[in-house]
Amino acid sequence: MRVLILGGTGKISTGITRRLIERGDDVVLFNRGTTGSLIDGGYTTITGDRKSDLPAFEKQMAEAGTFDCVIDMICHTPEEAESAVRAFSGRTGHYIFTSSVDAYTKPAAAYPITEDAEREPPKAFLYGYNKARCEDLFFAAHERGELAVTCIRPGHTYGEGGNNLIHPPGFGNCYLNRMKRDMPVILHGNGQSVWPTCHRNDVAAAFVGAICNEKAMGRGYHVTGEELMTWQQYHEGIAKAMGYPAPRFVYIPTDALERMLGEQAMLCKYNFTYNNIYDNTAAHEDLGFKVTIKWVDGVRPVIEWLDQNGLILPAEEFPIYDRVIETWEKATASLTV
């Protein structure tokens, strides 16, 4: 089977590429060629920059011939979605769009969230808004018979080879260094909103299970972690994986973080403050999706990889982190009724 992956060296796509090579597919990657791969051979590469020149991208895709399946990991805007429809209509038997659970309206009307839930994020949450609009365009193309489309909506996905762990207030991954040094760590709200995370090997298996799968065509699926954790448990799991005691947490309301940090706190406001709980039944039944890697076990090699590559940022690079804590504690120290 000839499969094109737009991207191919990123977090999820590395796992997909490995699986396809192992089963003997003809794998072609399209990317800028600026990011190193964790995979040694077994694929061919088309080099190009989709974002800078959509007509040139469409020309390259026409010259690349036909594919049994195209997996698009790097479509983020409606303009790129419209371009993909032009590029692959009549040139692939199946098009898989990598969307996101951020395409759903939050807070949800009911939990767990199923695939028929409303997908209307606010425009201020541009990433989620654009993913939802891209889905609309692809499903419309499916209805017109231009592409056989599947939309897959991962949640937070992690794996070795990148800095892909999340700390809602931001500041890179300096919180890992803060844990090591027993420095306080900020949690938004009371740290009890629910957050699922899933290892990229498990997510990649769902993508492979979708390829040219008739059941999946014309449908959307979320593939998310099932070890439901609060944000406090998420960080405690990281500390455990590092061999350290539970962090000392400072709980700061999301609206207070927004006032202090502005745009940096927007993901807390529009996403992390809400419960993210999803029903993966459809992906289990149609794609063979299974969660096999537990959080502490999966995150340990990620942290080791970051440490070995000198990518854990020192706390000193973000003096504002302690200023946020100091500002909050000063403002609340004299609260009385």
Fold of 2-159+197-223: Rossmann fold (3.40.50)
Residues 54, 37 contacting (CB under 8 angstroms): no
Range list of β-strands (E), the chain: 2-6, 26-31, 44-47, 69-72, 95-98, 149-154, 156-158, 185-188, 194-195, 197-199, 219-223, 229-230, 249-252
The residue written with tokens 């492979």 in the block is 208
* pLDDT tops 80 at residue 239: yes
> Exposed (0-12), middle (13-18) or buried (19+): which is 121, by Cβ within 10 Å?
buried
Q: Are 229 and 290 in contact (CB under 8 A)?
A: no
**In this prediction, what percent of the chain has a pLDDT beyond 90?**
89
Per-residue pLDDT at 37 exceeds 70? no
Q: Cα(145)–Cα(141) distance, rounded to whole angstroms?
A: 6
Q: How confident is the model at residue 64 (pLDDT cuts 50, 70, 90)?
A: very high
> Quick one: tokens of 175?
């919180």
Q: Where are the domains of the chain?
A: 2-159+197-223, 174-196+227-276+293-329
pLDDT digits (tens, 9 = 90+) for 145-198: 999 999 999 999 999 887 889 999 999 999 999 999 999 999 999 999 999 999
Domain 174-196+227-276+293-329 top-level CATH class: alpha beta
Counts for the chain of helices (H) and strands (E), in that order: 12, 13
